Amino acid sequence: MGKYGGYIVLVFLIGVVLFATLRKDTYRKEIAEHKGTTICKFTYCYHANKSSQARVRYYIDGVKFKNGYDDCPDNYRDKLKHFYVMYYSTLDPNKITVDFTKEITDTTAILNAGFSVEELGSDAIEKGEE
């Protein structure tokens, strides 16, 4: 790698971390300024090395979205296939935050958010929904 190879790798890694941090902050700012609220279904927890990603499904204006969000919540197995409050950017509905502390159990609210009756009772872990 040469004399400066280690430094180049270090600078690159710092750049990647800064980019990821700034991107997350930009998403949160955009969501705060252009906030939409809906209900999402936590469908799957994707694990990779020491990190994880919560996979959710939601509807906005009748359009179905499947997306990943940060880390899976603690005790995620108990939360799978449940419905939660989700905030999104009205400019880009793929920019989301999920509040796993606010579970939605009101069937009418879930149906009004775009989910079907069949989706309410789905017991299978939906790996295909990644």
User: Based on the domain organization, do 43 and 26 belong to the same domain?
Assistant: no
- Domain count of the fold of the chain: 2
Q: 18 and 50: one domain?
A: no
Q: Are residues 91 and 40 in the same domain?
A: yes
**Which of 130 and 81 is assigned the larger pLDDT?**
81
Q: What is the mean pLDDT of residues 26-41?
A: 92
Q: What is the pLDDT of residues 85-124, one digit of tens each?
A: 999 999 999 999 999 999 999 999 999 999 999 888 754 4
Domain containing 109: what range? Answer: 34-129
| 13 and 50 inside one domain | no
Residues 66 and 40 in one domain: yes
CA distance 102 to 84: 6
Q: Are residues 26 and 84 in the same domain?
A: no
Would you say 108 and 68 are in contact if contact means Cβ atoms under 8 Å apart?
no
- Residue 19's pLDDT band (cuts 50, 70, 90): low
Q: Is the pTM of this model over 0.85?
A: no
**Contacts with 54 (C-beta within 8 Å, 6 or more apart), sequence order:** 42, 44, 45, 46, 68, 69, 70, 71, 72, 73, 76, 98, 100
Residues 58 and 105 in one domain: yes
One domain, residues 17 and 43: no
Task: Give me the residues paired with residue 38 across strands.
Answer: 86
Average per-residue pLDDT in the chain? 83
Do 2 and 58 sit in the same domain of this protein? no
Q: Are residues 115 and 76 part of one domain? A: yes
Which of 37, 34, 31 shows the shortest CA–CA distance to 112?
A: 37
Both 67 and 81 in one domain: the answer is: yes
Q: Do residues 61 and 100 both lie within one domain?
A: yes
